[in-house]
Every structure is written in C-alpha cells, then in structure tokens.
Amino acid sequence: MKTHAAQRSSFTLTAFDRCDRCSARAVVVTVMQSGGTLLWCAHHYGLNEAALRAGSAVVVRDERPTR
C-alpha cells in the first residue's frame, strides 16, 4: 500500500512523493471527502483543481511556487 504524505503528521512532501497521475514530483496533497488522499504535480493539480473543489476536496499541502 502506498503511504501518502497526508498520512504523516507533518504533511511534508519529499522528492520521493510522486503525483498519482503521472509520477512527477508531487507538490499538492488533497484529501477527498470520502477520506482518500491524492498527491498531485503542479500541472495535473491545475488541470483538476475545479473538479476537486467541486468534489469538496481539501488541500492539506500546497508547495507550488508562487508567481
């Protein structure tokens, strides 16, 4: 079973944490209303952000660079 960053107490992402969609380095952690946790690269989070918010996902860690 894959251990996600949100299951750790500090929510710190490391270089070993990978996007669940494409295996790029994860920079966002979301927890779904159903309790599942997803890791996202910046690209795939951006593509899915509206759907995640509509599905009541909660962002517990966001390490995307500020623009």
Q: 20 is written with which tokens?
A: 């669940």
Question: What are the distances in angstroms from CA 66 to CA 14, 55, 63?
Answer: 18, 25, 9
**Angle 62-65-67 from CA coordinates, rounded to 5°:** 125
User: Which residues make beta-bridge pairs with 30?
Assistant: 38, 59
- The pLDDT assigned to 9 comes to 46
Q: What is the pLDDT of residues 33-42, one digit of tens each?
A: 998 999 999 9
Give the containing element (helix H, strand E) for 53: helix 42-54
**Segment 12-62, tens digit of pLDDT:** 899 999 999 999 999 999 999 998 999 999 999 999 999 999 999 999 999
